[in-house]
Structure formats: C-alpha cells, structure tokens
Amino acid sequence: MVREDGKRNFALRESGDESSVFSGNTPRQAALKAARRLEPGSSEDEADRVELKLREKGTDKVHIYDGWAWEETAPDDKPDWMPSEITEANVSKKGIEHLEE
C-alpha cells in the first residue's frame, strides 16, 4: 500500500514474526534501513551476510535480500551531532516470494 507521501511500508519477517516495519519508496531503501540494525563488522569484507525478508504491507510479496553492515569513520564534513564512527550497510536482492494464505 502506497502512502500519500509515496512511501511504502515493509515488515521485517523473522521466523514468522513481523516486529519491525521500515518505510521507503522502494523495497531496497527499506532493506538498507533494516540492514543498518545488524551487528556491524569491522569492515565491509568482514561483515556477516544475513538474509532479510521484507513483506510489503497490503500485498502478498516478500522481498528477499542479503544484508550486511560495517563500521566506518565518519566523513570530515560531518555535522557536529554525528559520531566519529558510523554504521554503513549494503544489500543484495535475491528475489521475491509470494505468500500463500
């Protein structure tokens, strides 16, 4: 279901439970938000890949991604409120499943 501002809601599925909801214009944008909550590795190469399943609210589509996160030094032009170490994330789409209910 698309909201008035054009964003869609995606529920993170973890062993049948949908406890977290992420918003984004695209499924990838919501997956990146979910990936940033993963335990970060020391670098992108060292980060553990975790399968993320996001169900689009109002549909039977489940978007499946591999996601990973890592710690990185903040850029030099960072705002004052930003910490010196930040969490970066990336995702890779594996496919789409359709729920059968």
Write out pLDDT tens, residues 53-91.
999 999 999 999 999 999 999 999 999 999 999 999 999
Q: What is the pTM of this model?
A: 0.88
- 11 close to 57: Cβ distance less than 8 angstroms: yes
* Average pLDDT over the chain, rounded to an integer: 92
| pLDDT interval class at 12 (50, 70, 90) | very high
Ramachandran region of residue 6, left (φ > 0), alpha (ψ -120 to 50) or beta? Answer: left
